[in-house]
Structure 1
Amino acid sequence: MATDAVIGFVGLGVMGGAMCRNVAMKHAGDVLAFDTNPGAFEVLDGTKARRVGTLAELAAQADVVFLSLPGGPAVEQVCLGSSGLTSGARRPQVIVDLSTTTVAVARSVAERLAALGVAFADAPVARTREAAQRGELSIMVGADAELFARIEPWLRYMGSDVTHCGVTGCGQVVKLINNALVFENTLALAEMMVLGERSGVQPATLLDAVSKGSGDSFALRNHGRKSMLPREYPAKSFPPEYVLKDIGYVLELAEQTGVRTRVTELAQRYYAATAENGWSGRYYPAVIEVIDRNIALAPATGTTKD
């Protein structure tokens, strides 16, 4: 690990800002940060991180650049666009994408960057905003063994669990599966909370009892207790629109591999109803309201027949 390497960070959103702050607090070398939103830099107050005004300025100085962006198109633009990280005379040696994208995008970007002499790893993250703030994320990495060994110490600034999942793109495979499981678990929990309450069991009692048995889960302890129990769905958390983006990526991968993911298809319809019926931009466990109010779901949009 090069402790004096200059680290660049692009994207200071809810997760990215917390991750960049941890990097700035723990890395011995310089840390540079870029975001199009001037207000995003407030999260780095009190750290040594320095703000840069353009991606070209970042690329001219950074040895390794971490990305935390909304999705695949943004990753492609930042990496390969006309004003992106590889558009100038000097390029970073390594780009590590912490975003969630499609597997195809990760592998395509890696191939195009390799032709320019830049190594690329997909390293999407899981767990909550609080875990990001504590530096306790789970990070799933797609890279060859040599590159993984090189970047792992830097990733541990941000994550307490860093898993080498396989070659490029495999980090995204694992992350998408992780997200699909938690979205589906949250939906199933919401359904059972409504059923339990209408059958005479208070939701808090239900969660306490189930948490002591085999029905316990991360979704119960977090989404159930902290959001669905008090019926609180804050803004600036993970909204149903983001859920639908990730589910779309999962369904694309399933189609490419010939797997019919019917549970995920059903979850897509529920979260679409959540976004379309008053909870757009709110925390996605608001799906319990769709169930509680018996809101109709749109027909399935998949093209594969049963």
Structure 2
Amino acid sequence: MGKPVIGFIGLGLMGHGMAKNIRKGGYELWVKGNVNRAPVESLIDMGAHECTSPKQMAQICDIIHICLSNSAQVESVIRGADGILAGAREGLIVIDTSTADPTSTLALAEEMSAKGVSMVDAPLGRTPKEAEEGMLDAMVGCDAALFDTVQPVIDCWAGSITRIGDVGSGHKMKLIMNFLAMGYGALFSEAVVLGAKVGIAPQTVRKVIGPSRMGNGFFETFMRYVCDRDRDAHKFSITNASKDVRYVAQMAADAGVVNVMGASIKHYYTHVEAIGSGADYVPMLSDHVGRLNGVDMAEAVKKGQD
């Protein structure tokens, strides 16, 4: 039996690298892009084909990847008039790599199962850099037999693959991961602003905390923006961060869990969205927290260089 035909919907910061590595793995690849033609043309140059709709892709492909921003977009791609379900056939597998609402994921899985379509949730850890290198982390939710089927394809774009449990469990694990990550973003922002306010330069905070037990990979990329003003240090938008923290709040509410920290974290990201700066990346939250406290963080960094 030959290799399955793969589809990919959502060629953004993460999706392009993932799709590229699937193609490099020797799979026939069909893609569906959005407004930005650059990633589509890049993949076509590598031998990929372009679909006109998710429906057409479902008629052609054996396994379809989805990599979109939120559950509403995923639902539209699956349930729409020209969506995956409209063209689905028995045996199709859909791998949703988005960071999504697990309640939505489970509902979609049930709908697709009725048509003989299997749902796998495989959200991502790490950044667009690792997406291009084929070294993302994958948190997979599906039954064991299905995991054996999809693992070779996921292996094209992932350096670490962990089966969390049944469908929906990957998205739950990803929300816990992003709860911690966005919590770091809020906490580090307050820390560097407080430091600047009391006369401790961001560079000093980095020098002391970085090599200590409290340093980590997120701190390193966060401070690369704060201290070096590298806008591309961690390319994850505040809009997406805000959405993820909202999903965490909903998951906690559904589970009957007190989520006091989550509520505090959420307000910072909501504030940045509310003032129209949701396209900023997460480390840039430090600038907004600075402004709330009368601190210009770029100036604080300059003072630290004197």
TM-score by length of 2: 0.89
Distance 1:175 1:293 in 2: 31
Q: Which of residues 227, 230, 238 is equivalent to 1:229? A: 227
In structure 2, the partner of 1:218 is 217
Sort the Cα spacing of 1:236 and 1:287 in 2 relative to 1 into closer, same or farther, 3 A. closer
The 1:85/1:151 distance shift into structure 2, 3 A limit, reads same
Counterpart position of 1:260: 258
Give yes or no for contact 1:64–1:92 (8 Å, CA) kept in 2: no
* Contact residue 69 and residue 99 of structure 2 kept, 8 A: yes
Indicate the residue corresponding to 1:88 in structure 2.
Answer: 87
What amino acid sits opposite 2:255 in the alignment? Answer: T
Structure 1 residue aligned with 2:31 = 33
Deviation at 1:235, TM superposition (A): 12
Alpha-carbon separation, structure 2, partners of 1:72 and 1:127: 20
CA contact (8 A) 1:193 1:206 kept: yes
Match of 1:62 in 2: 61
The residue aligned with 1:97 is 96
CA offsets 1:222-243 (integer angstroms, 9 cap, x no match): 1222x12234546994222111
Give the direction of change, closer, same or farther, for the CA distance of 1:217–1:194 in structure 2 (3 Å limit). same
Question: Kindly tell me: are residues 259 and 70 of structure 1, through their superposed partners in 2, closer, same or farther at Cα, counting changes over 3 Å?
Answer: same
Aligned partner of 1:304 in structure 2 is: none
| Separation in 2, partners of 1:103, 1:95 | 15
Deviates more, 1:103-112 or 1:40-49: 40-49
Q: Say which SS state the counterpart of residue 65 (structure 2) adopts.
A: strand
Q: What's the offset of the Cα at 1:92?
A: 5.8
- The DSSP-based 3-state class of the residue aligned with 2:167 is coil
1:206 and 1:233, CA in 2 relative to 1: closer, same or farther beyond 3 A?
same
Paired position in structure 2 for 1:135: 134
Question: How far apart are the structure 1 equivalents of 2:8 and 2:179?
Answer: 27
More helix by share: 2
Q: Residues 94 and 208 (structure 1 numbering): CA distance in 2 closer, same or farther, change over 3 Å? A: same
TM-score, length-scaled by structure 1: 0.89
Structure-to-structure mapping, 1:77-226, within 5 angstroms: 77-88=76-87, 90=89, 93-225=92-224
The DSSP-based 3-state class of the residue aligned with 1:293 is helix
TM superposition shift of 1:42: 3.0
**CA spacing shift, 1:5–1:278, aligned 2, 3 Å:** closer
Aligned residues with identical type, % of pairs: 28
Residue of structure 2 equivalent to 1:44: 43
Number of equivalences: 293
- Which piece of structure 1 moves more, 208-217 or 85-94? 85-94
Paired residue secondary structure (1:5): coil
Displacement of 1:124 in angstroms is 0.7
Is the 8 Å Cα contact of residues 138 and 160 (structure 1) preserved in structure 2? yes
Gaps of 5+ in 2: 295-306
Residue 15 of structure 1: aligned partner: 14
User: Which whole-Å deviations, capped at 9, do the CAs of 1:18-38 have from their partners, x for residues lacking one?
Assistant: 111111111x23111112336
How many angstroms does 1:278 deviate by? Answer: 5.4
Cα offset for 1:293?
A: 2.1
C-alpha distance 236-194 of structure 1, shift in aligned 2 (>3 A): closer
Letter in 1 for 2:127: T
Residue 291 of structure 1: how far off its partner (Å): 2.3
- Corresponding letter in the other structure for 1:230: D
Structure 1: where are the runs of 5+ without partners? 297-306
Contact 2:124 2:137 in 1 (8 A): yes
Amino acid at match of 2:185: T
Q: Which amino acid counterpart does residue 133 of structure 1 have in structure 2?
A: E
What residue number does 2:299 align with?
Answer: none
| Structural RMSD (CA) | 2.1
Please report how far the alpha carbon of residue 292 of structure 1 lies from its aligned counterpart in structure 2 after TM superposition: 1.6
* TM superposition shift of 1:56: 2.5
* Counterpart check, 1:280 vs 2:278: yes
Inter-partner Cα distance in structure 2 for 1:89 and 1:213 = 52
| Residues 50-102 of structure 1, C-alpha deviations (whole Å, 9 max, x = no match) | 11222232122111111111211221222222211121374662111111110
1:244 to 230, 242, 245: 242
* CA distance, structure 1, for counterparts of residue 121 and residue 88 of structure 2: 24
Q: Which deviates further from its counterpart, 179-188 or 75-84?
A: 75-84
